[in-house]
Amino acid sequence: MSHQLVIVLDFGGQYNQLIARRVRECGVYCEVKSYATPLSKLKAMAPIGFIFTGGPNSVYGEGAPQVDPELFRLGIPVLGICYGCQLMAHMLGGRVVPAQSDTAREYGKTKTYYDTSCKLFCGLLEEGMSWMSHGDYMEQVPEGFVLAAHTDACPNAAIADEDRGFYGVQYHPEVNHSENGVAMIHNFLYRVCGAAGDWGMGDYKKTAIRQIREKVGAGRVLLALSGGVDSSVCAALLAEAIGDQLTCVFVDHGLMRKNEGDEVEAAFAKWTMNFVRVDAEIRFLLKLAGHSEPEHKRKIIGEEFIRVFEEEAKKIGRVDFLAQGTIYPDVIESGAGDAAVIKSHHNVGGLPDYVDFKEIIEPLRLLFKDEVRQLGRELGLPEYLVSRQPFPGPGLAIRVIGDLTKEKLDILREADAVYREELAAAGLSQSIDQYFAVLTNTRSVGVMGDGRTYDYTLALRAVTSSDFMTADWARIPYNVLDKISTRIVNEVPGINRIVYDITSKPPATIEWE
């Protein structure tokens, strides 16, 4: 990609991907690399700036991660955040020591005062709240640096050597808690690094289409289409680039939500690609019959998916390239530990070895999830597909507790559809990060129409989360829950009781199985 580049060097910080997303939101392309990446490789990428992340270490500790000192002699601007700030100070002749008092340590929201003559804070308010998280203290800043921000407890909340383009902040401007934090990053990119702002999904789409055409030539491409956001956007991008040279195999295992299979097929009707929808519901249900343990269900579904895909791929004949919807968080380098760790996606999830292809095409591997969604909109995919919520690979199989039958799946599909309809009608669907229904294997006595019933209990789950590592249960208004419950019990045969899960993660998980 012929875009200006900023490199985020990761020192094991928990916000490394968030920093990269903030840079991209400012219209500048960005990649995350391990601090251990050789300097020759970094130079070859021709970045216009570096950003050092935070990290759990102390810069003076034995074996603490560092960069090649030559990096500071490249003439390329550097922004150090938290550990990155202290590392820069430490390596350039300053002194960083353990904080000797609670006043020198700072955690959480802290009122901070900024020198707005500094390029980093130009045009911003002179004071605001920043998100601090440091237990070490810069006792002495390096020669050439000035103090650019302070707090009531810390005189060097930010430091700057404007002649060399070196800036350090002891807080985290990338998090929402830091007021004007993104504006500070924007200032670094544009006022210090001279960014042109040449990163956007419209340009990315054009460039990606051109590169796909150049790589594929007259070849043929095969994609396993799950119906999720990533594989769907990947399919649309490939279809736009190479049309009927693409074959998408959509394995409909009968475990999707109501109408989803038809929606996926309809979404790709406008492209002249080869769309193969395999109706494998009966086959999957036969394999799953009698199995109630969640991990058994997952393994059966994963293995059977591969078998079905294998059979369909054999029918296609020659395949030159295999495509995947791998996205950037799946391949991002991590600076945690002694060496970079890269999550490999090159085994294609266990897809059959017999497929004779030149290489794997991963046209989304540079994008974050929100960028993938935006690219989908640029490509004209419908919003119901682009904004689709996270959905587990095994589908509804793990939202029906216990053994699976078509009857149970149909009950759950109808109830889940009502739930989603009512949350959308109440204007809550965009503020809740994930919501779904679970058909429990508990049956209870009820009374309907003066008669006794003995039907299933349905559980409703809804959570808010920023990263899905932790989650809190969503506070859906009682009147909305009441309407959902009334509709489901009246409209969906087989359910006579509704419960709402008010457990956060941890101790629970988001899914039930």
Side-chain-side CA neighbours of 424 within 13 Å: the count stands at: 11
Output the six-digit token pair for 512. 């039930």
Beta strand pairing status for 166-169 and 158-161? antiparallel
Can you tell me which residue has the tokens 């009512």?
422
230 close to 238: Cβ distance less than 8 angstroms: no
Nearest CA to 52 out of 9, 87, 15, 13 is that of: 9
| 452, β-bridge pairs | 447
| 63-67 long-range contacts, CB within 8 A, separation 24+ | 65/11, 65/12, 65/35, 65/36, 65/335, 66/35, 66/91, 67/9, 67/35, 67/39, 67/91
Q: 355: which residues sit within 8 A by CB, 6+ positions away?
A: 222, 313, 319, 322
Beta bridge partners of 5: 29
Q: Is 26 a catalytic residue?
A: no
Hey, what are 254's tokens? Answer: 């009968």
Of the candidates 230, 260, 263, 265, the one whose C-alpha atom is nearest the C-alpha of residue 249 is: 265
Choosing from 3, 90, 172, 253, the catalytic residue is: 172
Residue 24 · residue 30 · CB < 8 Å: yes
CA distance 214 to 241: 10
272 burial type by CB count under 10 A (0-12 exposed, 13-18 middle, 19+ buried): exposed
**In angstroms, what CA-CA distances link 142 with 47, 159, 160?**
24, 9, 10
Residue type for position 16: N
CB 148 within 8 A of CB 138: no
Cβ partners under 8 Å of residue 479, min gap 6:
none
Q: Is 345 a catalytic residue?
A: no
Collect all residues with Cβ–Cβ distance below 8 Å to 303 and sequence separation of at least 6.
none
**Token pair in block for residue 375:** 């690219």
CA proximity to 143, closest of 89, 71, 67, 80: 89
Amino acid sitting at position 423: L
Task: Tell me how crowded residue 479 is: count the other CB atoms within 10 A of its CB.
Answer: 9
> What is the 3 state secondary structure string of 125-160?
CCEEEEEEEECEEEEECCCCCEEEEEECCCCCCEEE
As a whole number of angstroms, the distance between CA 54 and CA 81 comes to 6
Catalytic residue among 82, 85, 118, 234: 82
Does the annotation count 174 as an active-site position? yes
Question: Could you list the active site residues?
Answer: 82, 172, 174
